[in-house]
A and B are shown apart, each in its own frame.
Chain A
Amino acid sequence: MFTLRDRMSLRAAGTLAVLLLVATTLGVSQSKLEDNLKQMGAATVTGYIQPVTDLFGADMHSGYFHAADIETFGFHLRLDIIAMAAAVSDGQKTYDAPTPWASPATFKAPTVFGGPATSVTNPSTGFSYHATVDGLFNTSYMPLAVPQLTIGNIFGTQATVRYITIPKMNGDQIPNITLWGLGVRHSVSQYLPMVPLDLSAGIYFNSFTFGELIDFKGMAINAQASKSFSILTVYGGLQWENSSMNLSYTSTDITSPVVSISMDGANSFRFLAGIDLGLGPIHLFADANFGSITAFSGGIGFGN
């Protein structure tokens, strides 16, 4: 029997799992990322970190729904622990970094997902210049995980909330990290009962901050469809989305000390398809998302 006490214990454990993931993947390496970034001026940091904007945006906009069926009225509460992974392409491992000279003007340098830092030589002076930093993440996928609470239903409408906050840790080595997301989706099927699919539409907003350094925001609007076959639900959708990362800090590069830039994520549209396995109060789900960035999400949900 799945009791309220069980639900609360699982919620705490799930939150802890997500906190540990975020702290480990992003928090532990966050201090390294901040150290790296402050050695870069605006001209170099954009190329180095653009893939993070692209892939993080794709991750953030994944996993919003796992079925399009929304009853018109009734109590609905579900907690999902969602893991996302956006694929790192070879093209995202290097970028054309500016040199400090007029010629050559650029050279290939690693992004945050690239390999060892490269160098370039000025033929007239013999000076060499090193790309600021090695790639930091050696991975084929950029992972992320979030808890997501869905509550409803009123007139075929549900609200979705994502929230994590991690206070400063390790003597300010790891800054405060906060993630929150809000969404609303509405049943379209209630107006089209003759359509043999469940249909919904949703709109979602997300925000993610790393201390004072990084401010990430995104919005998505999607059309959702699903069909249930006993305990198996097949779902899919089309989604328009945008994301942007604002980066602000003072660089140690005196030729470009003030960094205040905004980078847009590459993904603007996706098609997704997935399956949800309903085992009573527990759901297991997974989906694949295809756009400029390929991303996958999956996880476990508790509730109805």
Chain B
Amino acid sequence: MKAMTVILIGLTTALLTMGFNCVNDPFMLSVNLPISALINVDQGTTSYNESQSITLNDQFDHSYADNIKSYRVYDLRIGTIGDFSGTFSGNVYIDNTLILSVTNKAWNSFHTPQSVSGGAVQQNPQGLQYLLTKLSQVQSGQTVVVTLKTTGNISPAATAGLQIQIELLAQLDAQVSGS
């Protein structure tokens, strides 16, 4: 019985050691911080103008907030929802700083959100830099609220059910420790 107990204790120790040592700790995790807005285009109108306030701190898991080491913006996109055979133009502002522009594009071609990397959407460098400044404030632990304003025109007059989707996509690199 004593010998069996020793065997089991040894097995347990070996197994625990084998399992415990194989986990990387700490590790880095890139947490998604999506800044998004959905803009309604009223039926029968030829223009739109809508603002939304977004608290950046509420756009990601708070459990990572105290361990953010770096950040980045990896994409800026505009998309459309609803079937419409006309065209649209518009600007997106973050706290009154222009960040994105679309000029006279087919509405239905944006059903798959278009990235600034594709050329259909133009990015304003000052707006990007302003956004990065806001992410820096998030990293430092501040509560950051931004206003996304979208204005533009649509031709001909809008049909029912049209919406414009704004996506400013960022990552926060958090150091995660198990201890």
Residues of chain A touching chain B, judged by Cβ–Cβ distance below 8 Å, are 6, 9-10, 13-14, 16-17, 20-21, 24-26, 28-29, 32, 35-36, 39, 81, 83, 100-103, 116-117, 122, 124-125, 127-139, 143, 145, 251-255, 282, 300
Contacts and interface: CB of A to CB of B under 8 A. Distances in A.
14 contacts: A14-B8, A20-B15, A20-B16, A28-B20, A32-B23, A35-B176, A39-B30, A100-B74, A117-B30, A129-B74, A129-B171, A135-B27, A252-B34, A300-B11
B118 A102 contact: yes
A31 B28 CA distance: 15
A24 B20 contact: yes
B interface, over-half SS: mixed
B23 to A, nearest CB: 5
A138 B118 contact: no
Given A25-B20, A101-B117, A139-B22, A130 B30 contact: yes
Contacts of A138: 22-24
Contact of B8 (A10, A125, A129, A251): A10
B73 interface: yes
Contacts of B34: 252-254
Contacts, number: 134
Interface in B65-100: 72-75
Given A13-B5, A129-B75, A136-B24, 18 more contacts: A16-B12, A17-B8, A21-B12, A26-B19, A28-B20, A32-B176, A100-B115, A100-B169, A116-B28, A124-B117, A131-B30, A132-B29, A137-B23, A139-B22, A143-B15, A143-B18, A254-B167, A282-B4
Contacts of A136: 23-24, 27
Contacts of B19: 21, 24-26, 143
B123 interface: yes
B60 to A, nearest CB: 7
A36 B60 contact: no
Interface residues of B, number: 44
A29 B27 CA distance: 12
Interface of B: 1, 4-5, 7-8, 11-12, 15-16, 18-24, 27-32, 34, 36, 60-61, 63, 72-75, 113, 115-119, 123, 167, 169, 171, 173, 176, 178
A28 B18 contact: no
A25 B169 CA distance: 34
A130 B24 contact: no
Contacts of B28: 116-117, 133-134
A129 B173 CA distance: 11
A82 to B, nearest CB: 11
Contacts of A127: 72-75, 117
B100 to A, nearest CB: 12
Q: Which of B22, B31, B34 has the most CB of A within 10 A?
A: B22
Contact of A17 (B15, B60, B118, B169): B15
B12 A252 contact: no
Contacts of A28: 20, 23, 178
A125 B117 contact: yes
Given A125-B117, A282-B4, A143 B22 contact: yes
Contact of A21 (B15, B171, B178): B15
Contact of B60 (A20, A143, A252): A252
